[in-house]
Every structure is written in C-alpha cells, then in structure tokens.
Structure 1
Amino acid sequence: MKNKLYNIVISSLAAFLLCSCYDSLDRELRTTLTKEQVEKEYEYTRYQAMSLYTDLEEGFFALGNAMRASACDEAEYTYKGGAETFNSGSWNAFNNPDDVWTQYFKAIRKVNVYLDPNKKPVNLDAYKNDPSENSQAIYKTRTAEIANWSREARFLRAFYYFELIKRYGGVPIFTEALNLDTDFGTIQRNSLEDCIKFIVDECDDLSDDENGLPVTYDEDNLGRVTKGAALALKSRVLLYAASDLWNNQVWTGGYAHPELISLPNGDNPEVRKERWKAAADAAKAVIDLSGEAGYNLGSNYASLGKTFEDPELIMVRRSWAKNDFERLNFPIGYPNGEGGITPSQNLVDAYEMTDGSTFDWNNNRHKSEPYFNRDPRLAMTIYTNEAAFKDTHLECWAGGKNGKGVANATTTGYYLHKFIDEDLDLAQGRTSIHTWIFFRISEMYLNYAEALNEYDPGNADIAIYASKTRGRNGVNMPPFPSTLSQTEMREKIRNERRVELAFEDHRMWDVRRWMTAERDLNEPLYGVEITPGLISMKYEKIEVEKRVFEKKMYFYPIPQTMLSTEGVDWQQNPLW
C-alpha cells in the first residue's frame, strides 16, 4: 500500500526531474580531482542550480494560450478554453484550468533535492590547496557562488510556496524531498499562518546584509534573484496577510479548519492594525533599498515587458526572442494575428480623465469621444478603435477590418497593446525579447500606500507613494490629494493598482484578497459597440458575457486526486 501511495502522491507533489542527477551529486567525491575535473563538478552544480529557475511561470500563457487577465474582469479570451471554464463558474476539484498544485510541488521537490544536506559538496580542493594567487581567487569566488546558489534555491522555494497558498490556503511544508520511507499517512496541511511564517522567515534570512542574497549582480548574472526580490516577496506576502480574505472566516459557513484559510484573531482591530503595519514596513524596506539597488520608475511605461534591463524591474522571467505572444494577440485582420486577449470595457472605464476625474458614460462628451483626454496608460495598454497600428488604424466597428463580421474578431471592441511588440513582422517570422514581470518598484509604492492607509490614515506618505506611478514621464496624471478620507484613498489606491498593474497577474488576486470578487467578478463582462456615422463614431457600452463568481472561489479546491489518495485524510477547502 505504501508503494502505491508513494506513486500517487509523488505524481502530484513531486517530480523526478533531478533524480537521475541526484545520485551523481551524492556520490563519494574524490579529494584528488584535477582542476579540469573540479571545473566539471562546479559547472554541473551550477547547471542544476540554474535549472531551478525553469519552473518560474511565464504568465503570458498561464491558461493555455491565455493570460489570467481573461479569467477575471480585465479581458475576454476570444478562443474561450480554460478561461471560459473559470468565467462560467464550471471549474471544480476535478477540473481546474489553473491547478498548479503538481507544478509547484514538483518545483519545490527539485529545490529540496538540490539543498539536501546529505549531498556531498562540490570539491574545490584542487584550488584550495594551490597557494597561487589565481587559484586562491578562484577558490574564494567559487565558494561564494556555491553558497549563493543555495540562497537562490531557498528563495525560489519560498516563491513557489506563496503561489500555492494564495490559491489553496495552507499546504504541507516540505524542506526535504519525499522518498519511499515517507509515511504519507502522517502528512497534513500546515496552517496558513505556518506557511506565511515559513515564507517570511526565509525572506528575512535571504535579505540579511551579511549572509543574504546580493543587492545586484554583474552583467553576466543578470536575471538571478536578489535581496530586493526577497524583500519584495515579503512585502506581497504580508500585504495579503493583512488583507480581508486571510482575516475572515465568516464567509466559510462554519468550516471546520479555519486555520487553513485564515489567520487567528483576524476580527481584532489591533491585530489587523499590526498586520497592516508589518506590510507597510516590508514595502518600505524595498523602497529604501532603491538607492543601492538602482530601482526607479522607468521613463517609458510602454516598454514594460519588452526589455530585460529597466530600473523599475526587481524580478522578472526573461525569455528568448520569439513572436508567440504577438502571433496570439495581434489584432484580427492583421496577417497572422489571432486577436486572443481582448480587454474589457470594465477595465477601460477604470482609466481616469487626464484631470483625474472619473470617466462617465452618462456624460455626453465622454460618451461621444471615449478615448479623448484619458490617462495615457490606456493607449499604452489597450488598442482602442482607430488607434494607430503599424501603418494603419484599427477598425473595431462591425464591418471594419478588425471588428465584428471578421472571424474571431474582438467581441469587446478592443485589442491588447501592453507587452506587444507592434514592430514585429510576423509574415517574415521576426522575433523580439519578452519579459514577464514578477516584481517591480511600482508595486512596492502601491503596497506601501495601501498598507499605510489602513493602519495610519492621513499619513503624508500615503498620497506621495500612491501618486508616484501617476507622475512617471509620459503619464503625468495629477497626484492624489492628501485631503482624501481613508475610504476615498482606499478606492483611489485600488483603482491605481488596477490601471498601473493591468495584465501583470494582480487583479485576479487583488479582488480576492479585498473580498470584492463577489461584486467585481459577478458583474457581466462589458465591451463597446461602435457604429460609424457620417461625421463621427457612435459608442455604446454592451454586455459581452455573463460571469460567475461564488464564495467558494475565494480559494481553489484541493485537487480531488489528492483527496482521493489512499492514506490522505484532508478536508476540502470551504464550500467546495
């Protein structure tokens, strides 16, 4: 029975991607290796350490060929698929298009195999025992690099754990690889509080000034995780830990294990205040590192996702030059464009007028020219009707070359602009680089403003940091007044996150942690119907698709394959 259970659980929790390498890493190392042999050992270990990064998800294709933006109120995915399963409310413990349970437990096991304390260390004696200055320098450098690889591995494990708990709540914490001797009947889910503490403790260790991750790397090592990444992960974890969802059990209908989906004493105002303070302090720590790390707002919002090096970026996944994303999302009507992600009117309406006022469909001037005098980030994020695209202008109206009547044309009246390299010639197979953003300094500004507004409303820093993203060159939106009430500022900050971080995989989780998803994700997805006139276009807001969000969807269900595994006695998440 144990062998059967082992096979089932490992298939869900672990991968054997490194198992063939593990034996060679664990063998008895000779102390008489030549320098050439030592270099092979070193390069082999380096390769294994770098392979741990391959499990970082590229969010451009999170749901098949769709982004998660299409599984919330940011967009519609033309070709439906897994996104439609989410939006119709038909997903469950048997069929979850975003079920990452296996994916991240595999990644965690790879880290644990790499970090196995019984693994023999890389033998550097050939350099250590050579008194020459060059050999001693190599020994010192190699020793430091190997130590840092372990820190990078620990960060990645913490990051993968956060990706799990924001979906499933408390999960089992493993710091060593499972094996045939493991008694799986004893494995239980750790509490949400345990998981948060594990991640935060790791981040604290990894951001230590003396023994933590470096603040920066040289050009040959760009893209590896840094002290700033550890602090940014801590900031995000503590922001979630202070937010409504992880401090609320009422919605669960008397769930027997509230410790798996909420923190204790979440209804205590003083406890909540301390959690918001911890979140604010964590975000401020990243901001305070900016001088040393070089973090700053980039000069061009439109370049986000299309460059590896930008002062705004803290942690990203870099991909080689390709054109998959453009091919999937170039407007229909352009050669080889498939028009997959089509932004919603729900999102478009969130972009303010240039004077900071709210766009209003009841305002005739707004309605007649809905894209005039809008926050410049709208045009840098979304292609609207008559927007310039290559050597032409988009025709998103019914009968236009990019509108209804053309197979698979946008149903919302919009196409995605953010992350798109419009200069690519798909017909000639041109490619360009793409960068998926995990953390950037803009989020830290907004994290800080949000947390500070909750525990110290009226603090002067709130309006300053909530407005920073608005003051970037090329955007230049007016700052938020410092005289706003706490409630007014809360809504402004939330809307600023929606606009500034659009399509970066925040909205789907923000509406959950704020517990506004029952309102925001139950609202129909809207688009715009455009009718050409003799003088001007006529625009009408229309319903594109009904959406479904139920209370149980605040957390994902534990995969049924796990709950059905012999020996595993876990309760499903609430209301599933």
Structure 2
Amino acid sequence: MKKLKYISVTALSAMLVLAGCNGDFVNTQPLDQLSESTVWTDGALTDAFVTEIYAGFGNGGFDEQMLASLTDETIFTHPGRGITTITESRSNPADPGWINGTLSWANMYSRIRACNLALSKLEKPQFNDATLVERLKGEAKFLRAYYYHQLLRYYGGVPLVDRPFELGEADYLSERNTFEQCVNFIVKDCDEAATLLNGKSLAAGRATRASALALKSRVLIYAASDLYDVPTAKAKSTVLAAFSKPEILGYTSGSRAERWQKAKDAAKAVLDISGLGYQLALDKPASKDEGTTNYHNIAMSRNGGEKELILGRYFINAKQENGGRQGLFNGPNGYHNWAGNTPIQLMVDDYEMMDGTKFDWNKADHATKPYDNRDPRFYASILYDGSNWKPRTADVASKDPANQIQTGTYEVVSGGSKVPFFGLDTRKSSVEDWNGTYTGYYARKFIDPNPAIVDQNTWQQVPWPLFRYTEAVFNYAEAAIELGQDAEARTWLNKIRFRAGMPALTESGDALRQRLRNEKRIEMYLEEQRYHDARRWMIAPTTLGRKANGINVTGTLKAGKSVTLYKYDPTSYDYTYKVFEIDPGKENRAWLDKQYFLPIHRDEMNRNSKLVQNPGY
C-alpha cells in the first residue's frame, strides 16, 4: 500500500513539473468533446449538431411497449411496465404511468432547447454556405414544431420557449401558453420550415417540405376537433367543464368552421405534392390478394410502398437498434419471440367483410369461419389461428412442418387416445410458455416475413412512419365531412379503399363520419393514430374504455379422423371460436375523463410554480 501511494505522489509531482514547464498543458482539449466556438464555425459540425436533434424521435413507435396498447388495438403482454396505470385510469402526477421518451415533458424540452440554440447560432452563421444554413434552419424549425406538437397533443397548451436560456438569468419559470397560441406557433414554424426546405435535397429520415406540411396538416385537424373546441368539450365532459383555465386545453372562441377549412386546406397542400402516395389512382377495388399486397408494401415501405412515407425513422442492420426488433417484440412465442403487443378481439371485429358489411358474431357463417372473406388488410395486419407464417426455428420445425400459427387447443391422438394439444403459440406452448399471447392473436403488420429474420438474434430494416401520405388523405376527408362536402370526402376515402380491395363507401352525414373513423382505425393500425383520434373525437369512453378481449379456439377431431401431429385442417377438425374478456387481474380497463390529457409530472410542477396542472389530477 505504501509503495503504491509513493508512486502516485511521484506521478502527481511529475505532472506538476510538466505543467510548470509547459503552459499549453492546461489548455489541452478533451479528445471526446468539441468547443462551442468550433461547432458553430464549421458547417459540417453544425450539420452534425442538428442531426443529433433527430434523436428525439427515439425508435419512433417501434419500442417494446407500443402506444397501441393504450388503446383498443392491442394489449401489452408483460406486467409491471406502467401500461395499466393508464388503461385503468390510475394516472396521477406522482405516477403518470408509462411515458415513452418520445413524449416525455423533459425529453421534449431538451430537444426544443437544442433547436432554439441551433436557430440562434444560425441567425448569424460563422461559415459560408447559404444553402446549408437555410436547410439547417428549416430542419431545426420543423423539429421544434414536431416536439412542441408532441407536448401539445398529450398535455394541451405548454410554455412556449423560442430561445435558449442562458446561465445567470433572473427567472427560468414560464406559464403555460394557451392552446391557440401553441397551435399558431407550431403552424408558423411549419410554414417557415416548408419555405426553407423547398427544393432542398435531403437524406431519407430528414425533414423535407412535405414533412413540414404534413405536420401542419396534423396539428390543424387536431385544432378543429371536439376535444380542443372548449364549448364542445365542456358539453361532453364534466371534468373538462369544471377546469378553471379552459384556454390552455382548447379554443374558447372563434369559428370552428374556419378551423375545419384551414385543416382541409393544409391537408390539400400535402395531397398536391407530386410523387407521393401509392396505388391511389384505381377506378375500382383491387383484388383481394392485390389489396393485401398493397397494404403489406406500405407497411414494409418497399415495392412502391415507400412512396407513402413522407418522413420515417429508419433502421439498418449495421446499427442494431431496438427499432429493428419488432419481430422479436411482437412475434409469436412459438418462434421464440416475446408477444409484446397483441391484437384484441375488438380490433379484429372491426375489420369489415370483403363486401363492406360489418362482421357479426350473431351470423352463423361469420361465427364459424371468422377469418374468411375479411378486409384484405386484415391478412397483412393480424396473425390468427391457422394463418401461414414463417418456417419455424430449427428446434421447433419438426413440431410444425406446416408453419402455421397455433393459438388454440386441439385434439390429437396419442397412444390410441384423444388428448388435448396446446398450440405452439399459446401460453401452454411446449416451446416457451411464459410469453405467449393472452388474446389469441399476434401482430403481423411491420414484421418482415423474410424467413431469415425469425428470432431474437436477427434485426429487420422496416422504417417507422412518422408521417405518411394517407394520413393527409384522412385529414382532408375528415375536414370535408365536417364542412358538409360528403362527395369530396367519399372520393378520397374510396381511393384508400380501392387500394385495399374494398368496395366504395356511399354514406353521407354522420354515417359517413363513422365509416371514416373505422376506415382510419383499420388503415392506420399500430401507427399511433388511434390513441389521439379516440381522444380528440371524444369517443374514448366507448372505445378506449372498453374491456380488452380475446378469442378461445378449440379444434375437435371429426368422426373417423386420427391426427398425431397437429396442423390447421378444417377437413379433419371442427373449430369453435369463443370470445372472452381479459381477466381483470391482468388488465381491468376503465376510462375517466382526466385521461383526455396526461398529468404533468409532480417533479415538473415542483420545478415551475407557474405551471397549472391538467384537470382531474
């Protein structure tokens, strides 16, 4: 010990001697950092700074927990993640429940500060490249607008900060701006970003003029919606009616018709951009197989489907990020996957029949064959009992040579007697029994069907769609309906339906409104639209508040049939399907109107005494 101490003192003495002999020693630059002056005088480094701000996108929506599991799309399989805190309306400022980093108050303001810093430095650029300066300013304005829109749609009006705070300021506290002020701020940033980015060539995954216009369209369709029109919201919710600062949550005055018109115009600006959209010029429905393929191409962003993507979060195998693990996160446990976010029966039931009629369990032909003749998008979105999937992994292949999803219980013959066989993709699977679906379904959308990408050791390269063209189509059609322009709305909605292989809509008025809402539910499944739509339409009590459910599938051998190795086979089995509610011990969904807005965390409230908490908390 003494020897070590002596060496240490000797080394320190030598350092001091060196420092005394060479004044440059104390000015040594760290090898892993750059000074602020260096960054802003170099165009490439400034570009890198702005590029890093995109990290606020996280994995997009491709985390292990998905926003879909806060809705009537899916249920999250694994316990203890804070999901049920929200779905059971137990959120509170001390424990708001699962909050993704892409909507976290602290994370969003951290990114907004970076945008403000970049914009302040780019006002008087210290490098000579006017085109680069314009592009970076455009990107920073778009990103600031995007992060503010994230805060707005989860929390309502928030403090608007448009400059980087400096050390030594007298006060860092800010009041929440009104909802209208926040909308105007975001729209202004979008307009300026669209102008600055016009004609600029950018790499995939970076903001463009189209991205800025798509964000503007989204924000303005929200601004016109029920939740953000205070008189409407008060009439529908006593919790919101009792709030003392309604201007924080929506418009207290002004013409709602004008807001719908602004939303329609903003959406049309996106629709008018050339080169975007996929298979939307059909004059009749595609075939069933074509409809499924079209939808799959959009989800994979391949084979022309990439034209749908206005802005995506991309993933590459060279950088193994969790966004490339959707197959692992959501795939069947019989493939050694984790079954994270599994579709619930409510979602499955809302896929129409091929002829455009509603699925109905009270109809015998529907109840006995619930997966026949459904909307072609169903087959590209949901893995259900008996559906074909990838080849099983080597250790499982002999148990299922047919490569079919098995989520039921079936009779097989063993030792001359009929015995129950639990499907390989159930929670009683002989492959893995701890991480199977509770609902009887798995997500197929966004999972690459490539047989080489099959288990937890492989990644996929499917981008997350932050904005796609069809969202703007829905925005345009929705605004048209609210303005009484039903024929125009039908024209655009039928473009989506024809691409999917579905017949034209013919309804008007509220019936057309309801068809649009279901159409968007189906088309935008898993894309983080439903959570916001159900809230802004104020239909959450009858949608998000419903109990989650699933399906029990039973296969009984027909008379004279003897099967020792199970596969889906209606010639050998009679199948029955029974809907059940998820056990309340797993998840007991309930809706309270406070959930229309998330609570501002107690820590943020303690940091800023000028903040007003959201209603119900």
> Which TM-score applies when normalising by structure 2?
0.79
Question: Which residue of the partner structure matches residue 265 of structure 1?
Answer: 253
Looking at structure 2, the residues matched to 386 and 342 of structure 1 have their Cα atoms a distance apart, in angstroms, of: 16
Measured in 1, the distance between the counterparts of 2:217 and 2:35 equals: 34
**Cα distance 1:450–1:173, how it changes in 2: closer, same or farther (>3 A)?**
same
Match of 1:555 in 2: 597
The SS at the match of 2:359 is coil
Residue 414 of structure 1 corresponds to which residue in structure 2? 441
294, 303, 328: which one aligns with 1:300 = 294
Q: Which residue of 1 aligns with 2:120?
A: 116
1:23 to 36, 39, 48: 36
Q: SS at 1:537's partner residue?
A: strand
In structure 2, the residue corresponding to 1:542 is in which secondary structure?
strand
Q: Measure, in 1, the Cα distance between the counterparts of 2:279 and 2:271.
A: 11
2:536 aligned residue = 513
- Report what 2:471 is aligned to: 443
Q: Does 1:318 align with 2:314?
A: yes
Shift of residue 21, structure 1, vs aligned partner: 5.1
Cα distance in structure 1, aligned partners of 2:474 and 2:315: 27
Stretch deviating more after TM superposition (511-520 or 460-469): 460-469
- 1:395 partner amino acid: Q
Q: Which amino acid aligns with 1:314?
A: I
Check whether the contact 2:484–2:509 (CA below 8 A) recurs between aligned residues.
no
Quick one: percent identity of the two aligned structures? 34
Partner of 1:543: 581
CA distance in 2, matches of 1:231, 1:54: 21
Asked whether 1:564 is paired with 2:589, we answer: no
Corresponding position of 2:424? 401
Partner of 2:69: 70
The whole-number CA distance in structure 1 between the counterparts of 2:462 and 2:527 is 13
Map Cα deviations across residues 9-54 of structure 1 (whole Å, 9 max, x no partner).
xxxxxxxxxx975622578x6xxxxxxxxxxx22211211211211
Q: After TM superposition, give the deviation of residue 222 of structure 1 in Å.
A: 2.6
**Higher radius of gyration, 1 or 2:** 2
Deviation string, structure 1 residues 80-120 (Cα, Å, up to 9, x no partner): 32222222222221122116101100110111111124876
In the alignment, does 2:149 pair up with 1:162? Answer: yes
Q: Do the aligned partners of residues 100 and 428 (structure 1) sit closer, same or farther apart at CA in structure 2, a change above 3 Å counting? A: closer
2:135–2:200 contact (8 Å) kept in structure 1: no
Please tell me the residue identity of whatever aligns with 2:535: R
Aligned partner letter, 1:226: T
Partner Cα distance (2:173, 2:87) in 1: 37
- Count of residue pairs the alignment pairs up: 509
Q: Which residue identity does 1:304 align to in structure 2?
A: I
Counterparts of 1:167 and 1:317, CA distance in 2: 21
Name the CA distance, whole Å, in 1 between partners of 2:489 and 2:299.
Answer: 27
SS class of match (2:163)? coil
Q: Residue 105 of structure 2 aligns to which amino acid in structure 1?
A: W
| CA displacement 1:124-179 (0-9 Å, x = unmatched) | 3xxxxxxxxxxxxxxxxx32022211111110100100000001111111111122
Q: 92-101 or 296-305: which moved more?
A: 296-305
* Secondary structure at the counterpart of residue 169 of structure 2: coil
Equivalent position amino acid for 1:286 in 2? V
Letter matched to residue 60 of structure 2:
G
2:375 corresponds to which residue?
Answer: 375
Corresponding residue for residue 492 of structure 1: 515
Instruction: Determine which of 461, 478, 492 is the counterpart of 2:503.
Output: 478
CA separation of 1:427 and 1:155: change in aligned 2, threshold 3 A: closer
- DSSP-derived class of the 2:184 partner: helix
How far, CA to CA, are the matches of 1:95 and 1:228 in structure 2?
A: 38
Residue correspondence of structure 1 range 91-110 to structure 2 within 5 A:
91-96=91-96, 97-98=98-99, 100-110=104-114
Residues 1:90 and 2:90 are matched in the alignment = yes
RMSD: 2.2
Residues in 1 aligned to 2:358 and 2:190: alpha-carbon distance in whole angstroms: 39
Contact 1:307/1:433 (8 A) holds in 2: no
Native 8 Å contact 2:261 2:479 kept in 1: yes
Residue 312 (structure 2) pairs with residue 284 (structure 1) = no
TM-score scaled by structure 1? 0.84
Q: How far, CA to CA, are the matches of 1:206 and 1:383 in structure 2?
A: 41
User: In the superposition, relative to structure 1, how do residues 486 and 240 fare at CA in structure 2: closer, same or farther (>3 Å)?
Assistant: same
Instruction: Report the AA paired with residue 121 of structure 1.
Output: P
Query: How far is the alpha carbon of 1:258 from its aligned partner?
Result: 0.7
Gaps of 5+ in 1: 1-18, 30-40, 125-141
| Closer, same or farther: CA 437–428 of 1 in aligned 2, 3 Å | closer
Query: In structure 2, how many angstroms separate the alpha carbons of the residues matched to 1:467 and 1:275?
Result: 25
Residues 258-289 of structure 1: CA deviation (Å, up to 9, x unaligned):
110011227xxxx1111111111111111011
**Corresponding letter in the other structure for 1:276:** W
Kindly indicate whether the alpha-carbon contact (under 8 Å) linking 1:445 and 1:468 is maintained by their aligned counterparts in 2: no
SS at match of 1:264: coil
Task: Write out per-residue CA displacement over residues 469-503 of structure 1, whole angstroms, 9 at most, x where no aligned residue.
Answer: 1111xx2110111xx22100000000001000000
Aligned partners of 2:329 and 2:340 also within 8 Å: yes
List structure 1 runs of 4+ shifted beyond 6 angstroms: none
CA distance in 2, matches of 1:215, 1:233: 18
**CA shift at 1:320, angstroms?**
1.8
